Each structure stands twice: as C-alpha cells, then as structure tokens.
A and B are shown apart, each in its own frame.
Chain A
Amino acid sequence: MIVFDNVWFSYGEREVLRGISFKADFNERIAILGESGGGKTTLLKLILGLIKPDKGRIFIDEVDITELSEEELIPIRRKFSIVFQEGALFDSLPVKENVAFFMRELYKIPDEEIYLKVSQLLQRVGVADAENLMPEELSGGMHRRVAIARALSVGKTKMFLYDEPTAGLDPINSQRIISLIEELANKEGIGFIIITHIVYVAWQLCERFIFLHDGKLIFDGSKKELIKTKIPALKEFIKELLFKVTESE
C-alpha cells in the first residue's frame, strides 16, 4: 500500500505539492490528473523515493521511505515498474540492448537467455521488428512500447507507474498504448498509477481518479463521482470528457 501523509514539495521557492494525503492499494487502477506542470510527475518521483519531500511522510507497505538512503530504497523501488514520459530509453543503445540492459545488470543471466526473453518481450508489446533500431529511429508510440518491454524485463512487480504514456501521440498510437496497458494489467493482475493530463485516457483505463490543482489534492473518487463533480476547476478540466460521455449516453 502507498500512503501519502501531508506531503509538501517545492522546487526552490515554487511550491508544487501542498499537503497531499491519500492511500492507494497496489491492485488499484488510479489516474492522477492535473494540468501540465502541476506536480504530477513530482508525485510519481516521491513514490519512488527519487526526491525527498520538504514536509510530510510517505509509506510504502508500511515502511516510511522519507528518510531512507539510496541503498535502503532499492527493495522499495523493486515493487514498482515505471515507464517515464517519452520512454527514457538509453540513446546510445539499440532497442534490444535497451530491453536487455536491466536483465544483464541485475540478474547476470547468459546472453542467449537474455536475447530470447528480449525477443519475447518485444513481440508481446508489438515491436518485434524494431530490435536492431536505435531509439532515435523509433516513432513516439514505438518508444513507449519499448519502454514498457524494458519495464517488464525486470520481472514481477507489485505496481506499474506510467508517466504521460500517450502524451504527444496520435489517436491511433494512443489507443494502441491504452490497449497494451489494459492488457498487461489484466494478464499480470497488478494495478497501476497513470499520470496524465488527457482525461479520456484516464477514463478508459482507471477506476479511481485523483485531481491535483494548484498543488493541492482537490478530488479523489470513482468514475461516477468524477462525472458528477461540482468542483469548478475539475469540471473545467473534464468538460470534453463530460461532453463525450453524455453524447454516448
């Protein structure tokens, strides 16, 4: 379980998160919504202990991670697989080496076994033909797929974290990524947190919605509660979604 208890974070003098508190189970499908630059990615980094909060406590499986060292954080981070915005692939390595990277570094298994697993993973995410390409030769959608394959390569985790997985993608590629995320969650039976400013992506994938506005958590609820919200900032944020939902009804 992830627990945020009154977490504050600022970049210099700019307060990004102000008193964030929530609880989340690993098997939940949660969307964290908010405008660009509203602290969503910061929240993800706090979950992983990549940055420390200015105030407040963060607990992962009842362990307070706010004061842990890098080494102590390793087992905590292993509970998650993350796909950063735009994939965060290593530019100097071809696709297959990107996917093989963590297997080679962490598990010391023979090369033949690694490359067999790499082929299987690339096939699973639908980019089997791209294994010898360099990251700069990939399209945006392929980038995210390879990043997902790499995240899967580290083995069984408790939760997937996706940072803007469809940002900058055309509708067809967005839909492919959405389907892939859903398929993985169903097959692996694990939950995920998805950070996005595209409400329709969150609507298709998630059961619970958290909305950040002006550094504060101002909404935490289900699909039903989301479309019935009376919060002006959230209503404005999801107006396109409300239009689509009422239209389909």
Chain B
Amino acid sequence: MKIEQKLKLAIAYLQDFYILCFNSIFRIFRKPLYLDDILEQMEYAGASSVFIVSVVCLFVGMALSLQLTAELSGLGLKIYTGKIVGIAVIREIGPLVTALVFIGRVGAGQTAEIGSMILGHQIDTLRVYGIDPIKKVVIPRVLASVFMLPCLTIIGDLVCLLGGYYIAVFVSHQSGSFYWSSIIQELTFQNVFSGIVKPFIFGYFISCICCYFGFITYGGAKGLRVSTTKAVVTSIVVVIAMDFVLTRILLYILGFSV
C-alpha cells in the first residue's frame, strides 16, 4: 500500500474513533437507557476487578516502600517514607497502576467481546432490527468504566498504602502511627483531586479505545487476536501519555510550582 493510501486510512480510522467517542457521550441522553446492561458491565468492570487490582497494588506499594526505605535510611530520613509513599500513591502510582490493570482485565475483555459479536454478526443483527449498537453495547461499557475505575483507584490506593505500611513497620521498624499520620497530612484537596480526576478520564478513553478496536475486528480468530493486542497496546500508550499531560495541567491548575 502506498504511503498516501496508508495516511488516508489512518485518518479515516481516527475519524471513526472520534465519532465513536462523540456518540458515546451524546447518545447517553437519548432513550432508551439500557440500565440492566450498565449494571451488568459495572459488576464486571468493578466488583470483579477488586481482587486483581488489590493484589497488584499491594505488591507495588510494598516495592515502593522498600525502595524508599532503602534509599532514605542511608540519608537518615526514613521517617519520610510514609509522606513520600502517600504523595506518590495518591497522586500518581495508584491511578496509573489501577488503569493499567484495568486495561488488561476489562479493556481487553471489551475488545474481545465486541470483536466476537462483530465476527458472529450479532452487531449486524442488532442494526437490522433498529437497535443502536452504540447505545446497547458501547455506552454501558463506557459508563461502567468511567464510574468503576475511580472506585477501583480508591481501593488500589488504600491497598498500596497498606503494602507500604507493612514494609515500613514490619521490615523497616518504623512507627505505624507516624506512617499513617504523615499520610493523612498529605490528604489535601490538591493531592486527592489530582489523583481522583485522572481515573474518570482514563476510564473513558480506555473504554472508547477498546470498544473501537472491537468494532473494527475482521478476519476470524487471528483478527480478534490482532484487534485485542492493538487495543491493549494503544490504551497503555494513551493512558501513560495522558497521565503526563494531565499531571502537567493539574499541577498548573492546583498551583504547584515546578
């Protein structure tokens, strides 16, 4: 394929993606609202993901606390472990790690499920009988992701901090009450806001990207594998890049000096 054709194709794909993003917001206000589907997707994206998010966040929290303790001990500053773990987890690591786990568990599932519906002509069947696949299939997944990812992030943050607590208290022999009090000191509006805004935006884009790749699936089992891989890789890159951009914007808005 010529470069010109590739470019045209890329622009066409990007245009379709923007249309899906746009419709997934504006068609929410059109009837009917598939409440059962939304609740089902919320259960799948939220409650069913708590365990895996907790396991990953526990180990990330422990590793972070271990690294900091090792470094700060040499400088005689290990009492700051709780403070630094608190800031890092609430503002940055909690939202990012939870989003990455969410991509692997929920996003990949959304692409695979929609892709399989495309290949099995289930989406075509919906369209033939006048049911809008955006309303029936995409919006429940987008809403579930937008509302469940922040909830999972809060749980992930808490488990991360618990992991940090375990290392600080039982390995580094610091005071547990001092660890928690230094974290509580960091629960300022700026820090909490910075950490809670990101998951809403991540959830929206992860779901839109994963649904989009599901919709453009073709070519049987191999095609499904390709679209799922593309969805996961694209979501990871977008989330990490967006994390940087959001961090810069939030630091500016919230008045942090860099």
Contacts and interface: CB of A to CB of B under 8 A. Distances in A.
A and B bound?
yes
Interface of A: 13, 45, 48, 50, 70, 74, 77-78, 80, 82, 84-86, 88-91, 102, 105-106, 154, 163
A48 B131 CA distance: 14
Given A70-B127, A84-B124, 18 more contacts: A48-B128, A50-B124, A70-B132, A77-B130, A78-B129, A80-B128, A82-B128, A85-B121, A86-B121, A88-B121, A88-B122, A91-B120, A102-B129, A102-B131, A105-B131, A106-B130, A106-B131, A154-B129
B125 interface: yes
Q: Which of A45, A86, A105 has the most CB of B within 10 A?
A: A105
Contacts, number: 45
B125 A84 contact: yes
Contacts of A90: 122
Contact of A106 (B121, B127, B129): B129
A89 B1 CA distance: 37
Task: Give the 8 A-B residue pairs with the shortest CB-CB distance, closest first.
Answer: A84-B121, A88-B121, A74-B130, A88-B125, A102-B129, A77-B128, A88-B122, A50-B124
B124 A88 contact: yes
B165 to A, nearest CB: 41
Contacts of A154: 129
Interface residues of B, number: 13
A78 B127 CA distance: 10
Contact of A50 (B1, B122, B127): B127
Contacts of A78: 129-130
Q: Which of B116, B120, B131 has the most CB of A within 10 A?
A: B120
Q: Which of B122, B124, B131, B132 has the most CB of A within 10 A?
A: B124
Contacts of B122: 88-91
Interface in B229-250: none
A87 B129 CA distance: 15
A105 B129 contact: yes
B35 to A, nearest CB: 13
Nearest to A75: B130
Nearest to B125: A88
